[in-house]
Chains A and B, each alone.
Chain A
Amino acid sequence: MLKIADTTFRSRLFLGTGKFGSTAILKEVIEASESEMITVALRRVDLSNPKDDIMSVIDQDRCIFLPNTSGARNSNEAIRLARLAKAVSGSRWLKLEVTPDPRTLLPDPAETLIATKKLVEEGFIVLPYINADPILALRLQDVGAAAVMPLGSPIGTNQGILTAFQIGIIIEQASVPVVIDAGIGAPSHAAQAMEMGADAVLVNTAVASSKNPVAMAGAFAQAVRAGRTAYEAGLGGKSNQARPSSPKNGAITEDLSFLQRR
């Protein structure tokens, strides 16, 4: 079972809660996903227009609430958001994201490292969102990150695992869990990440932007299970030359001797 900090998770699918049409749909999506790690963001209360409360649809006995620091452009803003998140949730869990460039939303490695170190010292369980940088992953692990969350492709792009080579190195080297975050656009991408040996995946846009988010959440749950089972079973090796799956010997008649030609 997946274990992060001192918590074990039966599901290896983490779910983001952005961009859903209503909290009613989100509640069904969470159930269909079977996810036990649910991310949320911090924003100002809209005082003129109170809306549905996201806290009301997340069962905190069953799920870990993972607040993110989205919107933070540097370590100081991220640390400020982290403290606010802890004050709201009462929990030490944090998805750290520091994204200075709104066009790419790529994470700032230097600021992420600074913020991780500081927040770990303050007692947070920090899961930093990073580019797929194996050296950075090691540095973050060294300063106490509870997991690392390398991106498959930029946030919200649904482009899948464009960073497979680097993610392979991160998985090989990491002593903390590796959660593939961002860019996973289809259940096949999630299965691919799990087959590679990722410990979990975080999915949001792919589910929220589906015509049927509840069914898609279920599809991701299956894909993550399938990919994990395949990883544990061990994939067969690749070959550049064809190798027949059917036996070469024992053709039935002389007339069918061409079956043996190869």
Chain B
Amino acid sequence: MNVVINGEKTELSPQSTLAGLLENYELPQAFVIELNGEIIAPESYESQSLKEGDTLEIIRFVGGG
């Protein structure tokens, strides 16, 4: 199935969970995930399943003024 992660179309195996997806990435110590416009609490990553067409944003702090 296909999802969009940070604007990039990405193919995932069916029955992927958010926690499973995140294992693929090297992530900063603090970040937030928005799934289809809703912020997902970290305690829900394990149970959150992904489906075809989902849009994910993985957001962090960077330098800014």
Main secondary structure of the interface of A (DSSP, over half): mixed
| Cβ < 8 Å to A, chain B residues 1-28 | 5-8, 25-28
Give the residues in chain B near A20, CB-CB below 8 Å.
63
Do residues A70 and B65 form an inter-chain contact, with CB atoms below 8 A?
A: yes
Complex Cα distance A18/B59, Å? 17
> Do A88 and B65 touch (CB < 8 A)?
no
Task: Give complex CA distance A80, B37 in Å.
Answer: 9
Contact B39 A42 (CB under 8 A): no
- For A56, the chain B residues whose CB sits under 8 A away are 29
A contacts with B, residue count (CB < 8 A): 36
Q: Are B64 and A16 in touch, CB under 8 angstroms?
A: yes
Residues on A with C-beta less than 8 A from B32 are: 84, 87-88
Instruction: Give the distance in Å from the alpha carbon of A235 to the alpha carbon of B18 in the complex.
Output: 61
Contacting residues, chain B, for A89 (C-beta < 8 A): 30, 61
Q: Is the CB of B29 within 8 A of A88?
A: no
Residues in B with CB closer than 8 Å to A65 are 61
Is A44 a contact partner of B58 (Cβ separation < 8 A)?
A: yes
B63 touches A54 (CB 8 A): yes
A42-B63 in contact given A55-B29, A84-B34 (Cβ < 8 Å): no
Given known A-B contacts A44-B7, A45-B6, A50-B27, A88 and B60 have beta carbons under 8 A apart: yes
* Central interface residue in B6, B32, B62, B63, by most chain A CB within 10 Å: B63
Which chain A positions have C-beta within 8 A of B27? Answer: 45, 50
CB-CB < 8 A to B60: which residues of A? 42-45, 53, 88
Partner of A16, one of B8, B61, B65: B65
* Among B6, B30, B65, contact of A47 (Cβ-Cβ < 8 Å): B6
CB under 8 Å from chain B, chain A span 122-144: none
- Residues from chain B with a CB closer than 8 A to the CB of A39 are 64-65
Task: Determine the chain A residues whose CB is within 8 A of the CB of B28 once the complex forms.
Answer: 45, 50, 53, 55
A155 close to chain B: CB less than 8 A: yes
Q: Which residues from B are CB-within-8-Å of A156?
A: 65
Contact present for B59 and A68 (CB under 8 Å): no
Q: Does A214 contact B (CB under 8 A)?
A: no
Contacts of A200 in B (CB 8 A): none
A interface residues with partner B (beta carbon < 8 Å): 16-20, 26, 39-45, 47, 50, 53-56, 65, 67-68, 70, 80, 83-85, 87-89, 155-156, 182, 202, 204-205
Contacts A55-B29, A84-B39, A88-B32 known; list 8 others, CB within 8 Å.
Answer: A40-B63, A42-B60, A42-B61, A45-B25, A45-B60, A50-B28, A67-B61, A87-B39
**4 interchain residue pairs of minimum CB distance:** A41-B64, A16-B65, A204-B65, A17-B63
